[in-house]
């Protein structure tokens, strides 16, 4: 079966309280205009957002899962990269 499909788009929504756009999913659309409208219909109908970005999925460059060992493992043993080794003076609140 060779059904021609519209290109895939990744959808990012900024919620009312949110500062940044967050990836919420993907959808199909013939072009950017339609992708924005489809995103509005599919992803904001329960008042999830006030701003939409759409990006063609084929424009996303992703890291290779087989690189996971080299990419992410080494960070596990470097606890000193977290700022948790400081003594917080008594007078400081909200830390």
For residue 13, the SS3 value is strand
| Cβ count near 10 (within 10 Å) | 19
Cβ-count burial 24-39 (b if 16+ within 10 Å, e if not):
bebbebeeeeebbebb
Looking at beta carbons only, is 5 or 87 nearer to another protein?
A: 5
58 binds another protein (CB under 8 A): no
Segment interacting with another protein (CB under 8 A) among 25-33, 57-65, 71-79, 80-88: 25-33
Among 34, 48, 55, 57, binds another protein (CB under 8 A): 34
Per DSSP, helices labelled H in the chain are 32-43, 68-76
Of 29, 49, 52, 54, the one binding another protein by CB under 8 A: 29
Whole-angstrom distance, CA of residue 1 vs CA of residue 22:
35
7 near another protein, judged by CB under 8 A: no
Q: In angstroms, what is the minimal distance from the CB of 25 to another protein?
A: 11
Residue 48 DSSP code:
-
Question: Can you give the binding site for another protein, defined by CB under 8 A?
Answer: 6, 27-30, 33-34, 37-38, 40-42, 45
């Amino acid at each position: 079966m060779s059904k021609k499909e519209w290109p895939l788009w990744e959808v990012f929504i900024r919620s009312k309280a949110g500062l940044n756009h967050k990836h919420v999913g993907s959808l199909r659309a013939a072009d950017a205009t339609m992708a924005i409208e489809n995103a509005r219909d599919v992803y904001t109908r329960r008042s999830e957002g006030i701003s939409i970005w759409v990006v063609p999925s084929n424009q996303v460059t992703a890291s290779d899962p087989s690189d996971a060992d080299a990419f992410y493992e080494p960070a596990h043993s470097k606890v000193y990269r977290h700022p948790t080794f400081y003594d917080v003076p008594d007078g400081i609140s909200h830390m």
